[in-house]
Structure 1
Amino acid sequence: MRSHVLATIAVVATSMALVGCATLQRTVEVQSDLDSLTKSGAVGSIATLDDNSTTTVLTSGVPHQTNGDSIGPRYRVRIAGVTKTFTAALVLQLVAQDKVGLDAPVQRYLPGLVPGDTITVRHLLQHRSGLAEFAGEPNADEWVAASENRTLTPADAVAIALSKPAQFEPGSAFRYTNTNYIVLGMLVEAVTGRSYADELRTRILEPLELEDTYLPPPGERDIRGEHMTGYADLPGGRTDVSRIEPSIPWSAGALVSTGKDLNTFWRALLSGRIVPENELTEMTTPHAGATEAEGLGYGLGVGSTELPCGVTYIGHSGGIYGYYTLSGATEDRAYTVTLTSTPKEQPDIVAMLSHALCP
């Protein structure tokens, strides 16, 4: 799991699966944007666009470097940091039920886990806790752990973070840090008395009928069913890195999903079907000075930006071994794109979002 490194996006042109048909001009523009990135080195990519009741799926390349199969519209991918929005939604449901206070100290729910009583739930949601990053440390590399048949508990992940100096005083700065969302997963379990996986399933996945989305349990390192293989350019060449240990990213980045399911999730979230209006407003309001890698203002588990056409995009991105996903929505449209390797050229994120989402 990476510390929110901007990878890239690609999709389109060579093989196209259409379910319905998006506006022709929109499709042409998205294809033009993404085809150039495919040519830049992505093995395979898939984009899903929802325009009111119409869904369009665009694919480019192949799902596996070893064969010439086509990418199916429901191929699963690892969505990495987009998992954080699901975790934030769970926490905000608990806030709406008066089971958690946004500005309450984490110590109230997880006594003794983090030092002092100045780190609040809001600080965790907005990456302003100052907790150090655990991801990527020698014992917290999900690809290496899979090859060594190791798992990691959330408590051990937090212990790794606490063995390092704090990044800053709680509330004084913003830094995207996976540790925050591991603590939030633990908070969900402490408050509800149920596993994070069970809460995720009963509160979000089942009500929205997200049939292709799941949280792999510890030790389940392969992706279920049809999926795209993730690749990374390592010293020995381009390598299949899709087999990882999911207990390491856990509530910060372990979900597996599809573009269709993610678009359904975003549209439900922004319509108030997952989080009530007051909490949704808190969630989608960016904090001054909180800006993630793609230049999006960061709220509580979501990023947002006003596109040049005047519409507001709300979403999240995520990078993990072999995969990069950008997913979100405006009031009228939703867009998810995933690629399975890193092209040589970085994309213009705002331009891509504009072509996909502007009227």
Structure 2
Amino acid sequence: MRRTPSRRLVAAVLLAASVLAPMAAIPATAAPATAAPATGTARHDKAGPTPDGLGPELAARLDRTIEEVREQAGIPGVVVGLWMPGVGSYVRATGVADTATGRPMSAGASVRIGSETKTFTVTALLELVDDGRIGLDDPISDYVRGVPNGHRITLRHLAEMRSGLFPYTSDPDFTHDLLSDPERTFTPRETLAYGFRHPNTFAPGTRFQYCNSNLVLLGLVIEKVSGHRLADFIHERVLDPAHLHHTLFPTGSEFPAPHPHGYTDQTLSGGTADTTYWNPSWAWAAGAMISNLHDLRRWAPIVATGKLLSPETQRQRLKTLPTGFPGTSYGLGIFRTNGWTGHNGSIPGYETVTVYLPSKRATLVIMINTDIQYEGQEPSTLLARAITTVATPDNIYDKDSAISPRA
């Protein structure tokens, strides 16, 4: 939705890696997401390259680059982590977590990760494939009734974003209902119903279309086959084995401290609102999760290399297909863009990028507390592109894509 809620719900880095939501009425006290002073913390080596820090010249260039993008795009607060074996590491927190109080952004904060949730949901699904309990080419109609053309849409189509289902986030009634009451709890079946009232947009497997309905259906499959709530299954089979102790699947609007306030213009009025405690239930398996820098750093290589999956299942996951956006392809709940593998996320008030570069064993994590676009582009994408232009010029994130997320 950009200006018009339904247009912002796709999104992503290049292809719609967000999960997105429309947003609610702006509280009278909400402060605008204007750029704030660089009052955060920077950690890098001041003397020269070491195993723990980048050299001072590269670190200084990154400092300047991040501040330039933050100020230009009006991002309140930014957290960046970059780890490059043999080169060094860089962690930077700058700007503010709360525009009303000026509280500085913290590298230890938790944020809502939006569509990065998809990497966890699809990993859980693929573990059921490894268990022999489901097959990727099973039709969704075997597990969930009432899906339009469900006998022809497979679990693979859903995970690849090639189902042809109409995205529920593009339904005007959904947008109105969500924006009118952002604290409302939606059930998975309620959100799907908004999309199922529309005809499918194309035949399964013939095109790429970012669609959160796909992931909600996969969440229902996981629950039916496992016999557990999705949040519990992900916790037991994904988060615990990966040692992600600061990542969670919330049941409502709960948000562990410390966390920054989030700011969006996805509102009925078009004004800026504080989304910190908006209920992400509408996004569920497609985008409701919360994490922090430490856990996302661990998760990037795990999901990119398939540590929790069999080699064959990981090969299936990484069979990425064209998206229609230059330089970007999409696999099973994961994308590739100019060498980087992972996902990004956008939910009203927050955006993230978590990607891994196999050729350099490098990890990049970005967390910001706004989803307000700048000149039609996601602010997290602007940061990722600028950072990789400096740090990995042969592998620039989203280098050739002109997509405006949330189309």
Q: Residue 152 of structure 1: CA displacement?
A: 1.2
Q: Residue 188 of structure 1: CA displacement?
A: 0.6
Which shows bigger deviation, 97-106 or 134-143?
134-143
Identity percentage of aligned residues: 28
SS of residue matched to 2:301: helix
Residues 366 and 384 in structure 2, CA contact (< 8 A), matched pair in contact too:
no
Partner in structure 1 of residue 80 of structure 2: 47
One-letter code aligned to 1:338: M
Q: 1:314 to 1:354 in 2, by over 3 A?
A: farther
Partner in structure 2 of residue 22 of structure 1: 54
- Out of 376, 384, 390, the residue aligned to residue 355 of structure 1 is 390
- Out of 246, 258, 267, the residue aligned to residue 226 of structure 1 is 258
Mapped to 2, the partners of 1:11 and 1:313 lie a distance apart of 30
Partner in structure 1 of residue 274 of structure 2: 240
Q: Residue 73 of structure 1: CA displacement?
A: 1.5
Partner in structure 2 of residue 132 of structure 1: 166
Mapped to 2, the partners of 1:122 and 1:12 lie a distance apart of 46
Q: Which runs of 5+ in 2 are unaligned?
A: 1-7, 19-34, 45-51, 395-407
Mapped to 2, the partners of 1:326 and 1:269 lie a distance apart of 13
SS of residue matched to 1:247: helix
Q: Residue 327 of structure 1: CA displacement?
A: 1.2
Residues 3 and 176 in structure 1, CA contact (< 8 A), matched pair in contact too:
yes
- Out of 205, 224, 236, the residue aligned to residue 171 of structure 1 is 205
Deviations 1:230-259 (A, max 9, x none): 112354743212222222100000011112
- Out of 314, 336, 346, the residue aligned to residue 341 of structure 2 is 314
Residues 118 and 286 in structure 2, CA contact (< 8 A), matched pair in contact too:
yes
Question: Are 1:202 and 2:236 an aligned pair?
Answer: yes
Partner in structure 2 of residue 290 of structure 1: 323
Question: Are 1:339 and 2:368 an aligned pair?
Answer: yes
Q: Residue 344 of structure 1: CA displacement?
A: 3.1
Mapped to 2, the partners of 1:279 and 1:244 lie a distance apart of 36
One-letter code aligned to 1:22: L
Residues 12 and 58 in structure 1, CA contact (< 8 A), matched pair in contact too:
no
Question: Are 1:326 and 2:361 an aligned pair?
Answer: no
Residues 335 and 356 in structure 1, CA contact (< 8 A), matched pair in contact too:
no
Q: Residue 4 of structure 1: CA displacement?
A: 1.0
Which shows bigger deviation, 124-133 or 335-344?
335-344
- RMSD of aligned alpha carbons: 2.8
SS of residue matched to 1:314: strand
Residues 139 and 145 in structure 1, CA contact (< 8 A), matched pair in contact too:
no
One-letter code aligned to 1:93: E
Partner in structure 2 of residue 191 of structure 1: 225
Residues 37 and 96 in structure 2, CA contact (< 8 A), matched pair in contact too:
no
Q: Residue 68 of structure 1: CA displacement?
A: 2.2
Mapped to 1, the partners of 2:374 and 2:205 lie a distance apart of 36
Compute the TM-score of the two structures, normalised by the length of structure 1: 0.87
Deviations 1:167-223 (A, max 9, x none): 111111110011000001111111111111011101111122212111110xx2142
Q: Residue 69 of structure 1: CA displacement?
A: 2.0
Question: Are 1:215 and 2:252 an aligned pair?
Answer: no
Compute the TM-score of the two structures, normalised by the length of structure 2: 0.78
Q: 1:305 to 1:343 in 2, by over 3 A?
A: closer
One-letter code aligned to 1:159: A
Question: Are 1:31 and 2:101 an aligned pair?
Answer: no
Partner in structure 2 of residue 309 of structure 1: none
Residues 178 and 184 in structure 2, CA contact (< 8 A), matched pair in contact too:
no
SS of residue matched to 1:48: strand
Q: 1:276 to 1:356 in 2, by over 3 A?
A: farther
Mapped to 2, the partners of 1:317 and 1:11 lie a distance apart of 24
Deviations 1:264-317 (A, max 9, x none): 011222343222221112212211x3246x8521111111023xxxxx210111
Residues 98 and 104 in structure 2, CA contact (< 8 A), matched pair in contact too:
no
Q: Residue 65 of structure 1: CA displacement?
A: 0.5
Partner in structure 1 of residue 132 of structure 2: 98
Q: Residue 135 of structure 1: CA displacement?
A: 1.8
Mapped to 2, the partners of 1:334 and 1:126 lie a distance apart of 23
Q: 1:74 to 1:206 in 2, by over 3 A?
A: same
Q: Residue 357 of structure 1: CA displacement?
A: 4.7
Partner in structure 2 of residue 109 of structure 1: 143
Partner in structure 2 of residue 274 of structure 1: 308
One-letter code aligned to 2:352: T
Residues 93 and 275 in structure 1, CA contact (< 8 A), matched pair in contact too:
yes
Deviations 1:150-176 (A, max 9, x none): 211111211211101111111111100
- Out of 303, 309, 312, the residue aligned to residue 335 of structure 2 is 303
Q: 1:74 to 1:145 in 2, by over 3 A?
A: farther
Q: 1:163 to 1:256 in 2, by over 3 A?
A: same
